[in-house]
Amino acid sequence: MLEFAVVAPLLFLCFFAAFEFCRVAMIKHTTGNAVYEGCRKAIIPGGTSRDAINEARQVMNTLGITEFNIQVKPRQIVSKTRSITVRIEVPLDENSFVPNQFVAGKSIIRELTLTREGSRGIVNPSALDHKP
């Protein structure tokens, strides 16, 4: 009994710490995937910042993450927009199953910038007439 009383708290501490670190890793990878999917949705012709936010939110919800902040730049995507940036910040305090001091006050931040489809081909029409 004495051995169990000494070892059990350490065993449970290790178990919950491992569980929480795995959860943080899952949040980190899901956030990276959400940023990518949101950005991909916005860079296609006709894509909007609302499409990017909805797609990123859908990916984040697959893991049950409820508290996060999504930003899309520029807010208004027009035909001349060259690139889209999606940024997601996930505060770990609100998304942790087990409150602990390892992730207290920390956030996972992921950001991705992609060039819009079709914008690479935008050239100066007068440059086409000039042959080197």
Question: Is the confidence at residue 69, as pLDDT, over 50?
Answer: yes
**Which tens digits make up the pLDDT trace of 19-47?**
888 888 899 999 999 999 999 999 998 88
Given a cut of 60, whether residue 132 has pLDDT beyond it is: no
Whether the ω angle into residue 91 lies within 30 degrees of 0, i.e. cis, is no
Please give the tally of structural domains in the chain: 1
Q: Which tops the pLDDT comparison, 86 or 13?
A: 86
CATH of the domain at 92: 3.30.1300
pLDDT at 119: 62
Higher pLDDT, 18 or 87: 87
> Average pLDDT in the 97-121 region?
77
3-state secondary structure 66-95: CCCEEEEECCCCCCCCCEEEEEEEEECCCC
Average pLDDT over residues 107-130: 68
Q: Angle at which helices 2-43 and 49-61 pack, to 10 degrees?
A: 160
Sign of the four-CA dihedral 112, 117, 121, 122: negative
Quick one: pLDDT band at residue 122, thresholds 50, 70, 90? very low
Could you count the other beta carbons within 10 Å of the beta carbon of residue 87?
18
Is it the case that residue 120 has pLDDT exceeding 70?
no
pLDDT value of position 31: 94
Whole-number Å distance between alpha carbons of 57 and 37: 10
Q: How confident is the model at residue 70 (pLDDT cuts 50, 70, 90)?
A: very high
Q: What is the domain extent for residue 88?
A: 2-129
